[in-house]
């Protein structure tokens, strides 16, 4: 009887592991599992303290949630791979260890502690996830600065005319400054989206 219970327990654990490791996407020959997405999501919340929502891994909207998190993971991953390929946005190993230790402490005190232990994240693997987060964010900051574009007076005038902006509510100088900043940010974001799409193609992203 004990043997049967043990075998059923092993079988059940194997099924859970298989579900967690099922492939959701691929980047070339590198496969992305549900487990990867779960680790990424927990780290994202615990590193940056997002409080807008819970990580709802088991709800009826699980597929919708996981697909969104999968997209975030893929974006972060391709940015990290691109940074590594050019040796850019590097982070010190000591910073990875320091941040990793701090975040792990939060995880083990959180509601995700049980799931985290079930995921069985090894130390070396954990360090890679932490480095990926730090380095990808740093690389995005670099790209944002590089993506800043020059907005011409003509573009500002056209925008103000098309949107019939009330020039009496604010000084002309401040109004033009705000429009210039808005247009610059908008064009910069467009360049970043195009860059993200190039990275998806370069790293042969496929979602299953």
Domain definitions of the chain by residue range: 22-142, 147-200
- What is the model's pTM? 0.78
User: What is the rounded CA–CA span in Å between residue 13 and residue 21?
Assistant: 12
State the greatest distance between any 2 C-alpha atoms of the chain, in Å, as a whole number.
85
- 123 membership: H or E segment, kind and range: helix 123-146
- The SS3 call for residue 138 is helix
DSSP string, 67-110: HHHHHHHHHHHHHHHHHHHHT-S---HHHHHHHHHHHHHHHHTS
pLDDT digits (tens, 9 = 90+) for 170-195: 778 888 888 998 998 898 899 999 99
pLDDT digits (tens, 9 = 90+) for 6-56: 333 333 333 334 445 689 999 999 999 999 999 999 999 999 865 544 666
């Amino acid at each position: 009887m004990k043997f049967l219970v043990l075998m059923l327990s092993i079988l059940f654990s194997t099924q859970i592991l298989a579900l967690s490791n099922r492939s959701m996407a691929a980047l070339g020959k590198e496969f992305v599992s549900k487990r990867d997405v779960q680790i990424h999501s927990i780290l994202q919340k615990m590193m940056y303290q997002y409080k807008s929502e819970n990580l709802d891994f088991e709800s009826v909207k699980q597929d919708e949630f996981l697909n969104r998190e999968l997209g975030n993971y893929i974006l972060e991953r391709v940015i990290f791979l691109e940074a590594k390929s050019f040796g850019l946005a590097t982070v010190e190993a000591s910073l990875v260890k320091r941040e990793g230790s701090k975040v792990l402490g939060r995880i083990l005190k959180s509601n995700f502690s049980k799931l985290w232990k079930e995921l069985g994240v090894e130390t070396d693997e954990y360090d890679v996830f932490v480095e990926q987060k730090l380095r990808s964010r740093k690389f995005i900051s670099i790209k944002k600065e590089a993506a800043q574009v020059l907005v011409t007076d003509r573009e500002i005038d056209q925008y103000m005319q098309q949107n019939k902006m009330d020039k009496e509510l604010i000084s002309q100088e401040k109004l033009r400054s705000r429009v210039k900043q808005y247009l610059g940010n908008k064009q910069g974001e467009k360049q970043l989206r195009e860059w993200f799409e190039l990275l998806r193609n370069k790293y042969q992203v496929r979602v299953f």
